[in-house]
Amino acid sequence: MSTVSDLPFQLQLRLLDDALDGIVIVDQQSLIRYVNRSMEVLTGFSRSELYGRSLDVLIPDDGISPHSEKIAKFMTGGRPSAILGHVRELQILLRSGETCAVEMKAVDLGSCNSRRFFGAFMSDIRERKSMEARNAGLLALLEQQALSDSLTGLLNRRAFEKEAIAAVLRSARSSAPITVGIADVDHFKNINDQYGHAVGDALLKAVAAAMRSVARDTDIVARMGGEEFGLLFPNASIEQARQAAERIREAVALIRLPLDDKIYVQVTISIGLSRLVGCKSVDQALVAADQALYSAKNKGRNRIEVSDG
């Protein structure tokens, strides 16, 4: 059976020269002894510019030291398994001064005339890395959208419940109190019917901004749906949560949404609070807070009520 070694040297050289990957061969002093056409295209250097120069010419300044250490390890008989035979990603320096992400596989070519040689195959992966970055950005955006309310920018119900469960787990270790709340915009349906959905949406955004502006850094404000908002007060007793909720109620009551030069819309909210402690689940606490909210509505709205549970 014929092998590559049976081919004339010129045919072997042509095969290397026409390879899609960039190929570089260095000797035991790390001096470049061969580059193919793809390597010229990749780096912007001509063969004559690279031949006989140290491989460091292709290594960015911040990578020269580690590279030189690895080459020295090859020369002293150290185990090259961390580099040789393994595909790895790295940056190389181009003639333009820019860097390029490549995928490289280095191989030990053995010795010839008492000189040891190493080869490396390099593939340009800039397009792939760019696509990976775009995909990562898109994934992050999708994850954000899955956990946030598109109108107000607040967390949505799903994210709120995740935060509440996480707070419960932290509280189990520290015994810190937690309070949850449900806030509801008073007479929102009437406002929507009278002024239209555009005004209603603008009002919800204003309410969200007002609530967020006075909430503590550790507090969680979320839009649960419609005109209903969720409140989570970690490390807060029911009295501390009531004080925080009162600041929120007052901030919302100050909203003046202008319709024209002479008319503006005012709004208030009612809030129900419940402890989230002991064996009470997040769902049970939210139900209790909702019942307290119902009580606040029945007592005239624009007020805060606390669950007995």
Distances (CA, A) of 155 to 119, 185, 200: 53, 17, 19
60/250 Cα distance (integer angstroms): 58
Give the residue numbers annotated as catalytic, written as ranges: 227
86 with 80: CB under 8 angstroms? Answer: no
Q: Judge contact between 95 and 43, C-beta under 8 A.
A: yes
- Provide CB contacts within 8 A for 223, sequence distance 6+: 149, 151, 152, 154, 155, 156, 157, 204, 208, 229, 230
How far is residue 69 from each of residues 118, 192, 213, 240, measured CA to CA in Å? 15, 71, 54, 60
165 is written with which tokens?
A: 């469960």
